[in-house]
Each structure stands twice: as structure tokens, then as C-alpha cells.
Structure 1
Amino acid sequence: MVLRSSWKSRHKNSCGPAPRWIRPGLAALLWLCAIRLACGIEVGEIKTIVQKDAEFDANYNDMVTSENQTIYAFNHTISRNKTEGVRVSVDVLSNKSESPILFVVRQKQGVLSFQVPLILRGLYQRKYPYYDVGRTLCQPPTRAASETQYFFVDVSTLSSQGTNYQLRVSRVESFTLQTNKKFSFTASPSQPQYFKYVFQDGVDTVIVKVNSDMTFPCSVMSIQDIQCPIYDLDNNVAFIGMYQTMTKKGAITVQRKDFPSNSFYVVVVVKTEDEACGGPLRFYPLRPDQLIDAGNRSKALDVMVSPAINLEAYVMGMLFCLGIFFSFYLLTLLCVCLELNKRRNVFLNPADMSPAETGNPATRKTPASPNEYGSFADNGSTMSSEAITDSATSTDNNYGYMERSLESVARSRQESLSSIEEDDYDTLDDIHSDKNIVRTKKFLYVADLARKDKRILSKKYQIYFWNIATIAVFYALPVVQLVITYQTVVNVTGNQDICYYNFLCAHPLGALSAFNNILSNLGYVMLGLLFLLIVLKRDLAQNRALERHDVNALECGIPKHFGLFYAMGTALMMEGLLSACYHVCPNYTNFQFDTSFMYMIAGLCMLKLYQKRHPDINASAYTAYACLAAVIFFSVLGVVFGRDNTAFWIVFSVIHILATLLLSTQLYYMGRWRLNAGIMRRIVYVIYTDCIRQCSGPMYIDRMVLLVMGNIVNWSLAAYGLIQRPNDFASYLLAIAICNLLLYFAFYIIMKLRSGERIKCLALVCILFTAVVWGFALYFFFQGLSTWQKTPAESREHNRDCILLSFFDDHDIWHFLSSIAMFGSFLVLLTMDDDLDTVQRDKIYVF
């Protein structure tokens, strides 16, 4: 039917209303008039309106100019139990025209309008025209069991030249997705696709997976509520719902509670450019209004919706996690009970006790006299061998369990309350034995480096614990606040590109997006607490032995200072807390939360190894934490500025090498090498006397071997960093710390065995067990389920399904195994020198 603009003049004498068949045309005319007025166009310019009754799945090839407008009328029946999609496809057949064609789809509860060519903008406002457009109409829910709905497609243009186009309206039979059934489709920037999913009975959480064999073009998947309009273009898909960029993989976990209608739309949009997915940048247009040919950006994809885990899986995962780590508590309790039972048997059968077990000097050899340099502390902290014998004999009449006298209790209380700082005075009498003479002997024994008062050293090493506890409080509180803010932003905006999860195995709980990654960090906290309890037990036992003047505790074995052990246990607990905070929303801006206390653990372990044989000259807590703070500072700089920054890598490599040389010098000369204005003169003098004047070998062969190997390793790591410039600077820095720790630990074990010492069964079991667990842990660590060095879309290519109880992934297993391995490593350091508990300190070598 054709309506002329002169219809009104021919029917001006008509008194009744317009015929019924004329009403749709008048409605279209009024609608188009409103559009033209909004655009500033004269209404009188419309001359012809053509309305056609159209059918589905038919191609309509027409031409449109500014002189005419075409209206296509469609009707279809919808039912409440079945939802069918309706898709409008338009293709401009003519060459580029000066004005676009406007398509307006009028529905009962909404209007969809778009122009062809469809102009989509990319980075830097670059324009990409698309002449083949396909859009799916929004289907609002109906209350009636069956209902016939009408919609109209209006076609118009302001171009005076005729433009040919092809229009096709078709039904989408597979508009509603089926559970566990894959559906394949094709999308492009101008032809987005979306589908509907309805929650089944008994299913509260589902995971929507979208996959493709094509890396590019970059795509966006979105989950939106059932409402009109649907945001399905590159420039508006992020306006509502949850969304994430993807290349080959994309997955979003959807919960029923977030959608009151018990259904949602899965929207897939292909982006106009690939920069968001790590693709190359296109050229910048010469003119601001220049249109860029986008080329063929069609992408084949498939979507599948699967039920996620239920409440039972959550409960099983939590019970499994708690069961693993509580088993270590039970094992420790069993060992304590066996030890107490053994002591009880010894107490009931004193005749069977050996002299080493009783510690009674009356039945054992008198301790060896001090060597020429003095092997016993000389400030009143120890006694002569005769005094020790008398004291030990008097206290051992009741097998060491007699209560202390009131006088000794008062004296001990007064000493514990006194404020003694290490720097107040030096307990080494420099008049009788100069430090330089003692520490530069060719063969050193532990007695030579354990001359300071035990109270002084105990307070010195307790500072490690109190300092790290203070650091933990001030470090953790802002971290917790920040990650809560991150999680809130993710939940409010729906932007799932903010956090780098393993989306194929991310189980939400409450406001947390990946509860399983947080739960698996529980082992660090529980095992760190268990280690603190073990250290506390040993500390109390050592104090009791000192109070009853036990000979072994006073003059035998490695001096026992537990401050560093307390600091290590605290650091392990903080590693679990901060790792959990990091996994609330893992990304490159907060990765240092996960690694800061790893640096501290590595540093504290090296300090503890060195302290075992060098208790008097170990670094103070202030110096140690200042160095660790510098490491964390460089970690932050490397994460922020280290990517392809040549200047940064040069500066860092130089500092790394200089620090290695300085530390090597301090270790070789036992802290007697001073860093002051005369250092260059001394270096030249040493080179002249030892290398030029007379070529002599190193005086301390063992130390030189360790330091040469350490310098080779560190110089190699510095060269690797300068040449390769790894993107993950934090992990690179952690690798440096771990390599140095492993090198020093291997050197310690080798020198211990080389010195004729042995490793007890418990320590040997811990070493073997820890080595095996570390091997498995590193295997799972290098699986790399996500990586914040790349774009979020590229990171999702590494995502994998859960492998343990359908709840934990590879990285969760890394958390389990690494916490156990760290706990085992701490036990190795705690028990490694138990074989020396009955050996005089002037017989224990320093290396």
C-alpha cells in the first residue's frame, strides 16, 4: 500500500476517522516526523511512505532515497514456555553513499535503531565502517501462555541518491541454551550474538564457557540480566552486567541469586581492535574523519553452560584443607607424647641412663680446658669446670627437676626485667683477647664466636621477632583494606579484567570471587603457628636446662637463640595472610603482597644458617630488615618500571654485583673489613701484597670456595636479567634469594659432613621429606594457570579446570605443598645440629 503526501488534501472534507488500514501508516509517519524534527529536517521533505507485510526468512532487496521510506510489518507468536530469538540482518549492496541508511525496529516494549554503514570506534577514536549488520531483537518475557506480537522495521535515509540494501528477518531456533550442550556460532563487530539461559531446578550456580580456535580477533563475553535494551556492541557492552575480554577461552561463574528472573543473557561481541587482547596496534589515520577498512573480523565460537559445584563440594574442600594441616598437629602431639614417655622411662630407670643423657660430670670426662685463645665465655656467664661439676652434681641429685631457690628465682626475674641492649657495652674483653686476633685465626671454633653474654644475644635476636611482628601489623592492614576495595570494584562494575583468576576453577563464596585460592593459603598460617609452638617448647626446655646449670646447655652444642626462629614462624603466617589477600584480586599492581614475606623468609633462613656458627657477629635486626626493605623497594620499582627499561636493568645489575662483592668481603673477613673512606687504599694494598708482591693462596679455603661459587651464581643471574629482562621482576628477584639460600644450605651440609659431624635421623627424615615435597611443589608452581605479565585475555588462555575434589586447581596444590615444604625447611634448620648438643663448643668448627 502506498500513502501520498497529498492524502490529506484529497480527504479534507472527510468527517470520520481515517480508515483502519491507514492507521499504521499514520503512526509510521508521525514516528518518522519525530525523528526528522529531532535531526533538524523539514517534515515536508517526506514524500512517500511504503508499508509492506513481510515474512520471516525472506530476502527483501530494495532501494531507499530521501524521497521515500519503507516500513516492513512482521508478526510472530511467542509462548511463555519457549523463547525464540528474532534476528534482523542488513547488507548494503551499493557503494559507499554520502549518508547512512537508518533502520528503526519498533517493538511492543522497546525500540532498536542502527545505521548502515555502522561506524564503530577503536583506540584513539579510529573509525571502522561496517556495511553488513546483524542484530538480535530483545525478547521481553510474556505473562500470557501464548501471544502474537507485532514489530515494524522502518528504513529511511537523507541521501538523494538511491542506495540498494538487502533486509532479512529470521528466527533463531537455538536462542535458549541447554545445559551441558555446546552451541557453535559466528560473530563479528557488526554482528554480535547473544543467547538466553534459564536456571534448572536444583542448580544455583553455573559456569558459562566460551571457546574459540582463533586467537584473534579479540572478543568480549558478557552476562546480562533479562531486560531491554541489550548492550551488544563494542562501545556499550561494558555498561551493565559482568564482562571479560577473551581470545581463545573465557569463563564466568554465574549465581542464581544475582538474577531474580532465574535467567540471563550470554552476550558475545567481537571488538573492532585487538589491543585489549595484546594484539598489534594499527596505523594512526592521517585525517580525523578518515575511515579505516576493518577487514574480515568474523570469529567462530562455541558456548556451553555447565552446573558449577554444589554446597557439598565446598564443605569437602574445607574439610580436606583442615584435615591435611591438623594432621601435622596430631603428628607433633604424638612425637611429644613419645618423648615424654621416653623421659618417664628414663626417670623410672636411672641406672640405665648413659652419662650423656644424665649430664652428670661425675660419670663423664671433665670438659676440655680452654684453648690458647679462650674457649669459654669470660664475663661471668660460665664457671670453671670444678664449679660446673659441683653445681651439676648438686642439682642432678633429683635428676634436674628440683625447684629453684627463691634467690635464683629473684635473680632470674631481675635479669629478665632489666633493659640490656647489645650496643650498651661489649662483653668481649679486648685487653686480654683482641677481636681481630680471634676472628682471623686460620681455624675457628664456635667457642671463639660465642663469647658474648647470652642475655645480650638473646635480646638482640628477640628484636627480630618484635620487629617483624610490628612490620606485619602495619603492612597487613592497608593490604586488607586495598584488596577489599578491589573486590568491591569488581563486584560493582562487573569488569572481570581487573583480577587474574583461573576462571575455569574459581569458586565464589559471598563477595569473594575465588574462595578456593584463598582457602588453600590456610596451610601457611596453621603450620607457621605450629612451628612457633615447637620453637616455644624448645625455648622453654633450654631455659629450664640453663636454670639447673646443665653442662650441655652451658658449654656444649650450637648456642641456642630462638629469636630468629620466632621471626621465621611469624613470617610464614604472614605469607599465608598476604597471599590470601593477593588472591582476593590478583593483578600486577599488588603482586608484591604475595612476595614480600617470601623475601623475608629467604633472608631470615640465611641469617639463621649464618648465626648457627657465628652467633656473636651476625647482623642486627635493624640492618637485616633495612636490607630486606631495599629488596622490596626494588621489587616494586621492577614491577612498575622494569618492563623494557634499559636504564633500570643497568642500575639494578650494578647494585646487585656491588652488593655481592661487599657481602663477600664481609663474610670472608668475619666482619673485620670496614666500609669507610680508606677502603680503596686497603683494596689496593691487599691486591699488591697478596697478588703482586707474593702470590699466595687464600688463607680461608672453605670460605673462599663458597664465596667464589656465590659470586659466579649472582653474576650469572645479573647477566641474565640484563640480557633477557624478564617481565616478572618480582619472581626474578625471588629466584635470586632462593638460589643464594640453596647454595648456602648445600655448603653448610657439605661442610658439616666434611667436619666429621653427623645428621640425626629426625633431621635426615626432614631433609629428605622436604626435598621431595619441594620437587612436587615446584612442578605445580610452574604450571602457570594465569599470568599478570600479559593481558587478561591472554592470561585466560592458561586457565585450566580443577584437578582436586573439583574444588582446587594446580595453584592451590602449590599452596598446599609449598606451605608443607617451608614448614619442613624450618624443621631442618631447627634440628640439623642436634647431634652437637653434647659436643664442646671449642670442638665445633666454624665454616
Structure 2
Amino acid sequence: MCGDILKFVLVLLTCALLPINGEINIGETGKVYSFKITSDENVEFNYTIHKQLWDSPNYQPYRVEVSAIDANRSHPVFVVVRQAKSILSWQLPLLVEAPNPDVIDPFVEYRNTSRILCEAMYEYAPGHSHTSITLQKANRKNPNFSILLSTYSEKPVSVMVRALPVPFYDVTPNRNYDAVFSPSEPVYFVYEFPAKDVETVHLKVTSMDDVCFTVSIQPHICPIYDLQDHITYQGKYQTVSKNGGLNIQRKEFEQSSFVIVFVAHADNYLCDKHAGVPHTEETKFVENKQISRVQFTIIERKESSSFKAIISLLGFNTIFCVCILLLTCCFYQCGGYYYKDHDQSDFRRDCALTPDIVDAMQNSEEPKLSTFNGQGKRNQRIAMNYLWHIANIAIFYSLPVVQLMVFYDRMVSSTGNLDLCYYNSLCSHPLYFQDFNHIFSNLGYVCFGVLFLIITAFRHRMPSRPKCGIPRLYGLYYAMGLALVLEGVLSGCYHICPNQSNFQFDTSFMYVMAVLIIAKLYQNRHPAVQASAYSTFTVLGLAVMIAMLGIIYNSLIVMIVFYVAFVIFCLYLAFKIYFFTNVTGRILTVCGNVCDDGVSHCVPNRPCQLFFVFAGLSVNSAMALSGFVLYPNIVDFGTYLLIILMGNAIMYCIFYIIMKLLTGERICCEAMFYGLLAVLFWISGSYFFFNAATHWSKTPAQSRLSNQDCILFDFYDTHDIWHILSAPALFFTFSMLSALDFDLVNTKQNDINVF
């Protein structure tokens, strides 16, 4: 900013040092004047505005158009417009910097220029103390202005000048306006809030071409920053190529009015990372090829409609949770899947898995659950460790996240740079935060997470028959409920300012929940050989780290490293699922048998389970290979990893249900009911998830091409609906898992198969 002030001072000094001999003319608005100037002679036009015009409430400011076709950088033409309280100056050719770092000459020359003279409604005035300033109504006593044109060129330079009033300077709500502008011909308009009722308005911008431009909202105070190199000095702004939108609140402007500024960029690099205008060392002159035509509308928003949408979602979650609680009570009274005696002895004597027991498990064609449930208290401790790990992660992970996102929100407010955050600009409602609707729609995760914790605590207190049914290990269920709550909290934090650097906040606990589902299903039938929370979260931490690298570096190397690590890990899990324990030893044993007796003697004890293991390996290999096609052009790495984890959780659920049915077990009505609801919510929610309204992997302007209008209560968009639907989907998934083995509550563990 200091550099621009220095330039301004130099222009004034240059004009002061020019020869005083020159021609002074009386200017007539709307008339084009053509003439030549040299270093020995400058030209001045004085424009007088009649009193009846500037006293009129419909008074419009003036635009000054200056063209100098044969001006050059060595001897530019200086334009100085003097008003009663301000001076506006620039030079021709006007040099506009192209942000593309690959061009040889970063500046584009424009010899056609147009600037609007500032006629602000308000101005700064001294305050009550000598160190303070206040805003007061501008006193427009003398709207007359003069235009001085000069140069140091010894050769005559042809110049054309015109001054004319600006039509449609003051805009009204709910009406479409057209604007045409270029890098050297910015335009701006003024909007004033009505006296009452309206506290927020929304500016919707639609471009009729693909020229990159900036739209800025500034206070209605002179000077107005309307060129590309200083438009970011005050107010807030965003880059746009096709679609854009900004929310403006009355409280942001003391004077209850603001200016809407449009200026095109010299090229399209900031919008799509590709220069829209060719720049070479030989081609240094591009004459206003970056002309943009846009249509914009001011839409007034009333707080009453926002509060209706908020109350509606709050009521939906409350009623839904109450109904689920009542339904759980009905299942408890009528289902018959709870043992109602008061003998709660559910622990077997702690005994280690001896080598003989391990060999018996691995060689048995139909291993039984009783073999895997010999260490009841140890199994309980391992299960509860998941809950304490989640709680510790929540403390040490969530606090920095909250701190960082509040900092982001303050940065956006202080700098006005809306390109920092990838909002759906067509459906974002400010209320405490810039994008309150996407934060509030995460309420369902918190509500349903708390509900699942309550139901889990209720089931945990119910007595069980000793040595019957699936072991009552509720630690993972508590961890699932807490993870669901944390998903809502962190997703809300992410939506304070969504962008590439914090995307993992939105998905971290989705990864956790997918892994917890797999761990719980395996724990049901293998309590003695279940994975500890330490190993589970270590592997999950490595996955999150790889996801972070994939987000930061869109590189093929990251994809190759992930593929190799993922395939090795899947092979280990496949052997773990089939051999139960001592994977390395069993692999060596099988290899020894193959060498001694040949492949024909290596007949699997559990062929059905082996088939599903190989099927899972094949599907995972295919999903991993698909990353080379999908990443990074179609999906980002974080979403890709989430699809893999969720896909494995779904596959393991399907495998578990099929094996239950193949071993003669059945699915109880409660589990089928929850499962059906989970499928319905997942299918409907997935549609809105993939119909994304933002893409942080692209530039902010490209992301705004996907922005969509609100579709529910004129407050929620597709991503909000994904939040609303995925929360009950996860809840019903967890509920289905917890009820999946209710049919075995009275079955002896000696008769329950392991798979």
C-alpha cells in the first residue's frame, strides 16, 4: 500500500513540475474531445454541474473516459481529475499486472481507460478527541471537477476525453442489473439498506463469459479502490469466473450503505491457473480483450426465515430422537432379546491362549466362540480402551482445531479475502459465523451420538445369561457414540472456513467410525484375539498421515506408496481373519506343508471363509487401483481414502450377515428394522454427498462454478442435507450392529460359530 501512495505522490509532483502553459477548456458532459498534447503543452477541461442536478436526490456521479492510442511506457500520459475534496489520477498506458508467474512481461498495457468519480454519501470527520475519527453525512457543496492531461513526450500524443453520468448507479433489491467492465475500466454501484427489517442482503453475480474478475464490497467512503492492484485494500472481495455471491450485513457498515466494485483481471490465472490472454516478449500490447459482462442482483434476507429453518431442524432432531428412544423401549418390552434375570456374571476365568488351544482353533472346521472367550476381564479392558483413546484424541485433537478455525474466521473478517474459505456462496447464511447453516446442520451428529451413548448405557446395564450369547463388550459401542459426537463438532469447525488445509478435520472421525465398525464386528466372534486400541489407532494415524500427504501433494508417488502399503496391510488382515492369530507362524507352516506334501494336500479347513477372504482382497485391490484413475482429477485423496474405509466396513457387514445365515443363525426384527433404515438414509444421503456444491481441490473461482442455491427452507443446500441424513444413517448403522446378534442371547457359546 505504501508503494501505491508513493506512486500517487510522484504523479502529483510530475503534474506540478510540468510546464504551466496549456489550454484550459470548458467541458460539456457527454461530448467527446479529441486533441494532441506534448511536453510543452497540457490540456485541462473544467466541468460545471448545475445546482439543480446535484441538489436532486437522483444525482448520479460522473465517469471519466480517457484514451491515448499512441501513448507508451517511456512517455506516458498523466490524467489528474481534481474534485472539491479529492484527487483521482492514473496514467496511460495503464499497466495491469498479470499474476501468471510464467509470463516474461508481467504487465499488460491498456490505452483505453475509464474511472468513476467518487461521490460518497459519507466522509470521515474529527471525533470527540484529537485521536478519533467519526463518520458523518458528506456535504456535497461543489460537485464540479476538472481533468488535466499532460505528458513528457516531445512528440504529439493523441488523446480522447469524455465525461458522462453513470446510469443505474444506485441499485435496488430484487432487480437484475448488467455491468460491463475490463481491467482498465472498472465499475461500481451503490446499495443502501432500508430503514428497518433487513439486516442482511445477498449479492448474486452471474457472468456471461469466462473472464476472471474480482467483485468487492467496500464502504461508501472516498476513495473507492477499483483497480486490480488495490481493490483488496478495504472491504471484502472474491474472485469469480462464472458464479459468485457475497453476504453483506448492515452491522459491517456504519453508514448502512456499501459499494459493489467490479474489475476484470489481466488474465485468467487466478481463476483457473491458465492465462486467458497470451503474453510473449514480442506481444506486449493487448487492448481490452478481458472485457467481462455480468448480471447481478441484490436479494434481501430476513432473519425470521433463518430462525424458522433453525427451529425446524432442531425440532426434527428432537422428535426423531424421542421416537427412537420410545422404539427402543418397545423392542425391549416386546422383542424378547434381553435376559431379565439378575445374574450378571458374564466373565470366564482369565486363562491364556495356550499353543494347544491356538492349534485347535486353527485346525477346527467350525471353531466355537467359547474357545475365544477365555479372558473375559482382559477383553473388557481392551474394549474400554477404545473409549478412553477416543476421549483423549478428542481433547488433544479438538482444542487446536477450534483455535485454528476461530483464527481463520478472524482472518477472513480482518482481511476481507473470501477466497480463503470455500463457501457455497449461493447458500451461506451469516449468523455469528460466515457460513452458519453448514455449521448448524451438523447438530444431528451430536444429537444422535448422545442418543446412541444413552441406548448403549441402557443395554450395558441389562443383565445377561452367563456363557451365553456374544460377549458383552460395550467399550467399542461407547467409542462409536463418542466418535459420532466428535464428527459433528469437528465438521462444524471445518465449515467455519472450509479449505484444503483443514479438510482432514471434516473426515478424521469418519475414518475412525469406519475402523470401529470393522473392529467391533471382528471382536464379536474373536474377543480373545481382538486388535488392541493401541495398534488400531496407530494404523489409523498412519492412514490419516498418508491422506494428509495426498491432500498436500497431488503426486503419483504418494499414490504408489499408498497402494503398496495398502496391499501389504490387506494381505496381513486377510491372513489374520483366516488364521485368527500367529499369522507369521501359520504362513510358514503352510509353506512348509506345500514344500513337503505339495499343493494338493493343502486343503483349507474353512473353504467358505477363505472364499470371502479372497473376494475381499480382490475388491480392495480393485479399489486401490482405481485411485490411479480417480485421483486427483475426480476425487481428492481424503474422499478416496474415506470411500475405501467405508467400503471395507460395508463389505465386512455383508460378510458377517452372510456367514450368520450360512451357519444357521438368523437376523432379529430389531436388527432388520435398523438395517433397513440405515440403507434408506445412506442411499438418499449419498446422492447429496456426491452432488457437491464446493470443491476445495480447485481454485476458489472454479469451486464457485459448482455453487448451488438453497433447496430446503431457503437455508440448507445439498451438503447440509448430507449432514442431516448421514447422522441418522450412522446412528442406525451402529444400532443395527448392536442388535445384530440379539438372536444368540440364549445360545450357549459352545454352539456359536466363529467366522
Mark the CA change 1:687 to 1:788 in structure 2 (over 3 Å): closer, same or farther.
farther
The within-5 A match list for 1:170-209 is 170-201=164-195, 202-209=197-204
Residues 335-387 of structure 1: CA deviation (Å, up to 9, x unaligned): 355467669xxxxxxxxxxxx9997xxxxxxxxxxxxxxxxxxxxxxxxxxxx
Mark the CA change 1:85 to 1:689 in structure 2 (over 3 Å): closer, same or farther.
farther
Letter of the aligned partner of 1:748 in structure 2?
Answer: Y
How many Å separate the matches in 2 of 1:768 and 1:736? 22
Residues 684-741 of structure 1: CA deviation (Å, up to 9, x unaligned): 4355357x45364433212211211111111112212234433500000111101111
Residue in structure 2 matched with residue 10 of structure 1 by the alignment? none
Residue in structure 1 matched with residue 661 of structure 2 by the alignment? 753
Aligned residues of 1:97 and 1:159 also touching (Cα < 8 A): no
Mark the CA change 1:186 to 1:683 in structure 2 (over 3 Å): closer, same or farther.
farther
Residues 266-290 of structure 1: CA deviation (Å, up to 9, x unaligned): 0011011211101414899787x98
Aligned residues of 2:266 and 2:277 also touching (Cα < 8 A): no
Aligned residues of 1:86 and 1:170 also touching (Cα < 8 A): yes
Aligned partner of residue 821 in structure 1, secondary structure = helix
Mark the CA change 1:700 to 1:339 in structure 2 (over 3 Å): closer, same or farther.
closer
Task: Tell me by how many angstroms 1:762 deviates.
Answer: 1.5
Aligned partner of residue 65 in structure 2, secondary structure = strand
Aligned residues of 2:199 and 2:303 also touching (Cα < 8 A): no
Mark the CA change 1:83 to 1:500 in structure 2 (over 3 Å): closer, same or farther.
farther
Letter of the aligned partner of 2:366 in structure 1?
Answer: F
Residue in structure 1 matched with residue 77 of structure 2 by the alignment? 101
Mark the CA change 1:430 to 1:653 in structure 2 (over 3 Å): closer, same or farther.
closer
The within-5 A match list for 1:401-800 is 427-428=351-352, 430=354, 433-452=356-375, 454-510=376-432, 512-542=433-463, 545=464, 553-641=465-553, 643=554, 645-674=555-584, 684-685=591-592, 687-688=594-595, 692-694=598-600, 696-726=602-632, 728-800=636-708
Residue in structure 2 matched with residue 807 of structure 1 by the alignment? 715
Aligned residues of 2:350 and 2:378 also touching (Cα < 8 A): no
How many Å separate the matches in 2 of 1:803 and 1:635? 32
Residue in structure 1 matched with residue 27 of structure 2 by the alignment? 54
How many Å separate the matches in 2 of 1:334 and 1:722? 48
How many Å separate the matches in 2 of 1:480 and 1:560? 36
| Identity percentage of aligned residues | 34
How many Å separate the matches in 1 of 2:596 and 2:487? 49
How many Å separate the matches in 2 of 1:229 and 1:750? 72
Task: Tell me by how many angstroms 1:646 deviates.
Answer: 2.4
Residue in structure 2 matched with residue 72 of structure 1 by the alignment? 45
Aligned residues of 1:97 and 1:163 also touching (Cα < 8 A): no
The answer to whether 1:154 aligns with 2:148 is yes
Aligned residues of 1:79 and 1:145 also touching (Cα < 8 A): no
Task: Tell me by how many angstroms 1:94 deviates.
Answer: 3.5
Residue 225 (structure 1) aligned to one of 202, 219, 222: 219
Task: Tell me by how many angstroms 1:506 deviates.
Answer: 0.6
TM-score by length of 2: 0.91
Residues 497-522 of structure 1: CA deviation (Å, up to 9, x unaligned): 00001111111112x10111111101
Residue in structure 2 matched with residue 368 of structure 1 by the alignment? none
Letter of the aligned partner of 2:119 in structure 1?
Answer: Q
Residue in structure 2 matched with residue 84 of structure 1 by the alignment? 60
Aligned residues of 2:369 and 2:526 also touching (Cα < 8 A): yes
How many Å separate the matches in 2 of 1:806 and 1:444? 57
Aligned residues of 2:68 and 2:111 also touching (Cα < 8 A): yes
How many Å separate the matches in 2 of 1:177 and 1:687? 84
Aligned residues of 2:337 and 2:742 also touching (Cα < 8 A): no
Letter of the aligned partner of 2:372 in structure 1?
Answer: L
Residue in structure 1 matched with residue 127 of structure 2 by the alignment? none
Residues 233-278 of structure 1: CA deviation (Å, up to 9, x unaligned): 1111111100000000111100111111111100011011211101
Aligned partner of residue 462 in structure 2, secondary structure = helix
Task: Tell me by how many angstroms 1:769 deviates.
Answer: 1.1
The within-5 A match list for 1:277-292 is 277-281=271-275, 291=284
Residue in structure 1 matched with residue 163 of structure 2 by the alignment? 169
Mark the CA change 1:145 to 1:156 in structure 2 (over 3 Å): closer, same or farther.
closer
Residue in structure 2 matched with residue 839 of structure 1 by the alignment? 747
Letter of the aligned partner of 1:235 in structure 2?
Answer: D
Residue in structure 1 matched with residue 126 of structure 2 by the alignment? none
Aligned partner of residue 39 in structure 2, secondary structure = coil
Task: Tell me by how many angstroms 1:621 deviates.
Answer: 1.1
Task: Tell me by how many angstroms 1:647 deviates.
Answer: 2.0
How many Å separate the matches in 1 of 2:337 and 2:497? 54
Letter of the aligned partner of 2:561 in structure 1?
Answer: V
The within-5 A match list for 1:353-432 is 400=341, 427-428=351-352, 430=354
Aligned residues of 1:109 and 1:140 also touching (Cα < 8 A): no
The answer to whether 1:315 aligns with 2:238 is no
Letter of the aligned partner of 1:702 in structure 2?
Answer: C
Aligned residues of 1:436 and 1:672 also touching (Cα < 8 A): no
Task: Tell me by how many angstroms 1:334 deviates.
Answer: 2.2
Letter of the aligned partner of 1:210 in structure 2?
Answer: V
User: Which protein has the larger Cα radius of gyration, Structure 1 or Structure 2?
Assistant: 1
Aligned residues of 1:468 and 1:567 also touching (Cα < 8 A): yes
How many Å separate the matches in 1 of 2:338 and 2:138? 93
Residue in structure 1 matched with residue 262 of structure 2 by the alignment? 268
Letter of the aligned partner of 1:132 in structure 2?
Answer: N
Mark the CA change 1:686 to 1:282 in structure 2 (over 3 Å): closer, same or farther.
farther
Letter of the aligned partner of 2:46 in structure 1?
Answer: A
Letter of the aligned partner of 1:188 in structure 2?
Answer: S
How many Å separate the matches in 1 of 2:11 and 2:683? 73
Mark the CA change 1:336 to 1:828 in structure 2 (over 3 Å): closer, same or farther.
closer
Residues 10-69 of structure 1: CA deviation (Å, up to 9, x unaligned): xxxxxxxxxxxxxxxxxxxxxxxx978934x995x6262211111111000011111111
Letter of the aligned partner of 2:169 in structure 1?
Answer: F
Mark the CA change 1:72 to 1:841 in structure 2 (over 3 Å): closer, same or farther.
same
Residue 286 (structure 2) aligned to one of 286, 293, 314: 293
Residues 165-190 of structure 1: CA deviation (Å, up to 9, x unaligned): 11111111211112111111211101
Aligned partner of residue 497 in structure 1, secondary structure = helix
How many Å separate the matches in 1 of 2:73 and 2:682? 68
Mark the CA change 1:68 to 1:812 in structure 2 (over 3 Å): closer, same or farther.
same
Task: Tell me by how many angstroms 1:226 deviates.
Answer: 0.8
How many Å separate the matches in 1 of 2:77 and 2:156? 10
Unaligned runs of 5+ in 1: 1-33, 344-355, 360-398, 417-421, 546-552
TM-score by length of 1: 0.81
Residue in structure 1 matched with residue 130 of structure 2 by the alignment? none
Mark the CA change 1:97 to 1:529 in structure 2 (over 3 Å): closer, same or farther.
closer
